[in-house]
Structures are given as structure tokens and as C-alpha cells.
Amino acid sequence: MGSSFSIDAGVEAAEALMRLPEPPSAIFAVNDNTAIGAMSALRRLDLAIPGDVSLVGYNDIPIVSRLGTPMTTVRVPFDQIAVAALDLLNRGPDQGRIRVATPTLIPRRSTASPKRPE
């Protein structure tokens, strides 16, 4: 197995998860590459996305919006993180070290809508 953040790692992880006695109905991958690998494995197992398994990636790389089933992902505000890091460097250690950059869920077709109560 390659890097734990690779497409191949996503394939292996999804296959292992789907072999569990009670496989998950959703997978949240560590990044979009592993989610792409998971998507490949799920399709090879003839599982519908999102019908059988919902899938969410992390990073919102450009390709995930263009997949056969556009992937739900979490967009990380890297520009805000960079600005905050530079601000911390310029202000020095006495100006506080905590900064918050809130990620955004980008819903696409790889996740099922919650079922409404009947």
C-alpha cells in the first residue's frame, strides 16, 4: 500500500469497510484522493453511490465536481489559513496564537438526502 492519503489507500480502505459484518452506509474519506479510490472500489463492488453508500471527500480538488457522480466534499479555506499564518508571524508571539478558519461542506450527488420522518 502506498501513502495513506492515496487513491490506492482509498480502494483498500473501502474494500475492507465493505467486508465488515455491518458495512457502513456512508464513508468520510481523509481527502479527495482516498474518496476517489473508495468510489472506484464501491463501483467495482456494484454498490450505488449514494443509493447504497454515501461518500464525502475532503479538500474540494477540481476533479471531484466532474466525476461521473460529482462528489460531496469539504472545502478548506487555505487562503484564510495562509493569511492567519502570516499575521501570526508578523505580530509575534505576544498577540495570541489561536485563529479559526471554518471549512465548508460542498454537497454534491455522492451523498443521499436524509430521509424525512413519515
Q: Which of 80, 82, 84, 74 is nearest to 105 (CA)?
A: 74
CA triplet 40, 37, 76: central angle to 5 degrees? 130
Give the per-residue pLDDT at 52. Answer: 96
Give the per-residue pLDDT at 116. Answer: 42
Give the per-residue pLDDT at 11. Answer: 97
Residues of the chain with pLDDT under 70: 1-3, 92-96, 114-118
Give the per-residue pLDDT at 118. Answer: 46
Give the per-residue pLDDT at 96. Answer: 66
**CATH class of the domain whose range is 7-106:** alpha beta
Give the per-residue pLDDT at 115. Answer: 59
- Burial grade of 62 (CB within 10 A; 0-12, 13-18, 19 or more): exposed
Give the per-residue pLDDT at 72. Answer: 97
Question: 49, 71 in Cβ contact below 8 A?
Answer: no
Mapping DSSP to helix (H, G, I), strand (E, B) and coil, where does residue 73 land?
strand
